């Protein structure tokens, strides 16, 4: 369980036992050094990264004028002093904390539209982390205390939902494969998951399915957050106006941000307006406690249980069938 919380003095002892190597200190300040600055700089907000209530990392959010080294946008916030405690490195905490950063800022700094940071050009690991989190290098450079710094930014609330087009296939594959493993690794056998991925979530197949749309297959639609595909949905409608959702997957690090809700609403309107659907069905894996509450909260009602599509008796896989009436968009 990873979460971000504002610093208070209860965390002081843990930060005193927070060893960073000389190499790390060449790229970032020690938390205690940054806390000392916080007492004198009112624009600094120190943040603790917790894993199971233990201090796993630290950074500062700064609304002061230093951000103008990185951007000319007033409604920006500067991320500085980011680090992960050495004992917690290599466990995916950096990636998880980056996924929580945007929601945290939206909740606590609602006026902010962009996160900016500077990363040393020699710090390749940090650059990779920030790029994967959606930060963009817009080409701005400046000289910092330890050398040339790359200015990077992450624009908030830039979520676009649109029909998939050629060139989106790898992004769709990445989301679907990551979601398959994240959702089903405790429910299905490895062999079954690999069989489903091999059949349905390859670049070649999705290339075809992006182009070949029809009543029965309405195509893929994608959610892009800062120009990166983070979710996808697809389905079809029969001649009686009964719609199916065949695919609705998100990048596991982007769950809880309302993206799935927006994808479902957008695609449902496509099925209702363009394909005249009046009713919508979905199959959910039995035991999928991520998806079941999601669909039930959006009006889907359980109908029946059956053997999962593309499974056999040895797989021991069941699907729960849900349906709802489609309301006007």
pLDDT tens digits for 256-267?
Answer: 878 999 999 999
pLDDT at 181 over 90: yes
Q: What is the pLDDT of residue 4?
A: 96
**What is the band of 65 on the pLDDT scale with cuts at 50, 70, 90?**
very high
Q: In the chain, what percentage of residues exceed pLDDT 70? A: 96
**What is the band of 231 on the pLDDT scale with cuts at 50, 70, 90?**
very high
Q: What is the pLDDT of residue 307?
A: 81
Q: What is the pLDDT of residue 9?
A: 92
pLDDT tens digits for 126-177?
Answer: 999 898 888 888 888 888 777 888 999 998 867 889 999 999 999 999 999 9
Q: Average pLDDT, stretch 48-76? A: 93
Dist CA 150 CA 317 (whole Å): 49
pLDDT tens digits for 274-325?
Answer: 999 999 999 999 999 989 999 999 999 999 998 877 666 676 778 999 999 9
Q: What is the pLDDT of residue 308?
A: 72
pLDDT at 38 over 90: no
Cβ-based neighbour number of residue 226 at 10 Å:
18
Q: In the chain, what percentage of residues exceed pLDDT 90? A: 62
The answer regarding whether domain 2-155 maps to CATH 3.40.630.30 reads yes
Range list for CATH 3.40.630.30 in the chain? 2-155, 159-325
- Higher-confidence residue: 157 or 12? 12
Which CATH number applies to 159-325: 3.30.990.10, 3.40.50.970, 3.60.15.10, 3.40.630.30? Answer: 3.40.630.30
Q: What is the pLDDT of residue 235?
A: 97
pLDDT tens digits for 237-253?
Answer: 999 999 999 999 999 98
Structural tokens at position 171: 């992004």
Dist CA 138 CA 151 (whole Å): 7
When the pLDDT of each residue in the chain is averaged and rounded to a whole number, the result is 90
Structural tokens at position 199: 């059949």
Q: What is the pLDDT of residue 27?
A: 67
Q: What is the pLDDT of residue 22?
A: 67
């Amino acid at each position: 369980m990873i979460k971000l919380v504002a610093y208070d003095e209860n965390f002081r002892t843990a930060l005193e036992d927070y060893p960073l190597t000389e190499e790390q200190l060449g790229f970032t300040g020690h938390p205690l050094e940054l806390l000392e600055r916080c007492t004198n700089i009112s624009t600094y907000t120190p943040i603790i990264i917790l894993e199971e209530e233990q201090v796993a990392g630290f950074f500062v959010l700064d609304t002061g004028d230093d951000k103008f080294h990185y951007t000319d946008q007033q409604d920006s916030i500067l991320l500085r002093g980011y680090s992960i405690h050495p004992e917690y490195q290599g466990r995916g905490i950096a990636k998880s904390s980056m996924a929580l950063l945007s929601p945290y800022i939206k909740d606590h700094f609602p006026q902010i539209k962009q996160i900016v940071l500077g990363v040393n050009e020699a710090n390749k690991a940090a650059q990779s982390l920030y790029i994967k989190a959606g930060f963009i290098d817009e080409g701005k450079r400046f000289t910092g205390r330890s050398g040339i710094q790359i200015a990077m930014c992450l624009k908030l609330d830039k979520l676009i939902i649109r029909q998939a087009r050629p060139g989106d296939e790898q992004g769709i594959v990445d989301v679907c494969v990551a979601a398959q493993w994240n959702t089903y690794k405790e429910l299905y056998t490895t062999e079954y998951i690999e069989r489903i991925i091999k059949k349905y979530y390859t670049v070649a197949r999705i290339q075809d399915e992006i182009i070949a749309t029809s009543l029965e297959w309405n195509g893929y639609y994608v959610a892009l957050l800062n120009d990166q595909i983070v979710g996808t949905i697809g389905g079809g409608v029969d001649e009686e106006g009964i719609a199916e959702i065949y695919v609705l997957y998100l990048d596991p690090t982007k769950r809880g941000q309302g993206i799935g809700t927006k994808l479902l609403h957008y695609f449902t309107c496509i099925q209702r307006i363009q394909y005249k659907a009046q009713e919508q069905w979905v199959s959910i894996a039995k035991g999928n406690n991520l998806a079941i509450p999601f669909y039930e909260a959006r009006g889907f009602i359980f109908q029946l249980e059956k053997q999962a599509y593309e499974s056999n008796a040895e797989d021991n896989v069941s699907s729960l069938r849900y349906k709802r009436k489609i309301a006007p968009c």
